[in-house]
Amino acid sequence: MKKVILFLIDSMMPDVLERCIGAKQAPAMQFLLERGQYIPDCVTVFPTMTASVDCSLITGVYPDRHKVPGLVWCDPEKKEMYNYINGAIPIRKIGLAHCAGNVLFDLNERHMSKEVRTIHEVLEENKRVSGSINVIAHRGHKQHKVHLPPLLDAITSFRLREKVSGPTIMSLGTLVRPDIFRPITWNMAQTIAEGYGINDTYAIDVLIEVIRSGKQPDFTLVYLPENDHKLHKNPLDSVQHLAEVDRQLVRFLDSFDSWEQMLERNVCMLISDHGQTMIGESDDHNIPLERLLASFSIHPLTAQISEGKDVVICNNERMSYLYPMNPDKLFPIIEAVSVDPRIDLVAWKENDQVLVRQGGATETLRFWRDGPFRDRYGVRWGFEGDLSVLDVRSEGNVLVFDTYPDAFSRLYGALFAQPSQVVAVTAAVGYEFLSESAPTHLGGGSHGSLHKQDSLIPLLVSGASRQFPTPARLVDVKDFILQELGVSQL
């Protein structure tokens, strides 16, 4: 049976992939595309942030079931704020030990629901071997020791000397090294300046070495982060950034006797986690949440949530979660943010229903599960109010989405990831949210919203035994891979 390798390329977008191949800058991707199935409009989950997306990719469910709502979020009941590391300043405020603990341990061992099983868990329960290279969501049945570099060890006061769980073959930069015969030859990609090995070069080095060692797992998920970092800074050079990712894929293909040999032995898939949207250059492209919420007392950015404030802001770039600390504040908060037309959508929940309106407008759309309508993915819904709020058309009893792909399941997924009340706001195209210490990208790229620019991702499947089902969603990838490896989830 063939093995499966899935490359997760951060912020890869369909139009950039097509232009890169058209300009003959992506021979590896072109090779795979010509021998496979290319889906330009696969839909990712919301918010379009790596942490929530990665959890959905490995569990095959939306955040309402895996319970990781975003990159930055808070638990009003436990009175804690979580940040899986989104820039240097917030980390300084919340504390490196707290953030490193969040991303290294809490995400997998505490936050991701035990009610759902990761692809690694399912595969290894079915006598297959699974592998994860540099992916932050990696829960599995094996325990791996974390080797913190001395500097990080000292800064975090030696508090992080725990084990993390993962599949049999597991790599997390230089912090968790895969259990193979030969160590990865040391190079600059493993230094602190290069993120302790959380980079494209090191990920491909590890993959090549794992295959050479004869220990290639039946399934390997490989995370390539650099395209995202470069796009945030220079979105205009998007083709060049993706061409650099392709050079890493060429290195992988060249490690076989021939590129064809790779495909004879493997199903090779490429996917992205989200797109990016260009942010305008002038200051007014940052929507100042603290100014909009000036009549409320706003909780400062800290690890612990204390009593006595009105609202906690958790900024996920082009989306934000606003947590009213008192139920009386819910509607005043909604009213306060709704007035700004730079805000695209404002969504919240009432019992088992989602309510949503556009920034600067008052029409409300309300929807709920298990009604008489169904979407293109076969999920059943009921609704009341103005469908144009989410640019939805109903054709008979079928709901068709356009500007906000798979909008109902994705909004529902984000709002019901937690039992507490929360308001989700998204920024209009060209804008992102500004709040205490959150990283911003004026003149650069950003993501997080429900809009199709952030939400449609390319999916490339090469060497598989059958077609990937369309219309495609990122949450369907887990099941497709399990079937390719002859494993049924039931």
In the complex, the residues that contact Zn ion under the rule CB under 5 A are 228
- Residue with smaller CB distance to Zn ion, 64 or 228: 228
Please classify residue 289 by burial: count the beta carbons closer than 10 Å to its beta carbon, then call 0-12 exposed, 13-18 middle and 19+ buried: buried
Q: Least distance (Å) from Zn ion to the CB of residue 272?
A: 11
Among 44, 227, 50, smallest CA distance to 136 is for 50
- Residue with smaller CB distance to Zn ion, 231 or 262: 231
Q: Where are the alpha helices (DSSP H) in 23-112?
A: 27-34, 50-59, 63-66, 88-94, 96-101
- Residue with smaller CB distance to Zn ion, 1 or 88: 88
Task: Report which residue type is found at 244.
Answer: E
Q: Least distance (Å) from Zn ion to the CB of residue 78?
A: 27
Residue nearest to Zn ion (CB): 228
Q: Name the token pair of 275.
A: 């797109």
- Residue with smaller CB distance to Zn ion, 235 or 324: 235
Q: Least distance (Å) from Zn ion to the CB of residue 245?
A: 14
Q: Least distance (Å) from Zn ion to the CB of residue 346?
A: 23
Bond into 471 cis (ω within 30): yes
Please classify residue 32 by burial: count the beta carbons closer than 10 Å to its beta carbon, then call 0-12 exposed, 13-18 middle and 19+ buried: buried
Phi and psi torsions of 73, nearest 5°: -160, 170
Q: Least distance (Å) from Zn ion to the CB of residue 279?
A: 12
Q: Least distance (Å) from Zn ion to the CB of residue 409?
A: 23
- Residue with smaller CB distance to Zn ion, 124 or 228: 228
- Residue with smaller CB distance to Zn ion, 228 or 310: 228
Instruction: Give how far Cα 179 sits from Cα of 132, 174, 201, Å.
Output: 12, 12, 19
Tell me the C-alpha distance between 427 and 433, whole Å: 7
Q: Name the token pair of 461.
A: 């499947």
- Residue with smaller CB distance to Zn ion, 228 or 476: 228
Please classify residue 472 by burial: count the beta carbons closer than 10 Å to its beta carbon, then call 0-12 exposed, 13-18 middle and 19+ buried: buried
- Residue with smaller CB distance to Zn ion, 220 or 277: 277
Tell me the C-alpha distance between 143 and 165, whole Å: 4
CB 458 within 8 A of CB 17: yes
Q: Least distance (Å) from Zn ion to the CB of residue 122?
A: 28
Question: CB atoms < 10 A from the CB of 399, how many?
Answer: 24
Task: Report which residue type is found at 270.
Answer: L
Q: Least distance (Å) from Zn ion to the CB of residue 414?
A: 17
Q: Which residue has the tokens 């791996």?
A: 144
CB 421 within 8 A of CB 348: yes
CA 229 centroid distance within chain: 14
Q: Least distance (Å) from Zn ion to the CB of residue 332?
A: 32
- Residue with smaller CB distance to Zn ion, 228 or 454: 228
Helix or strand holding residue 316 (H, E): strand 311-316
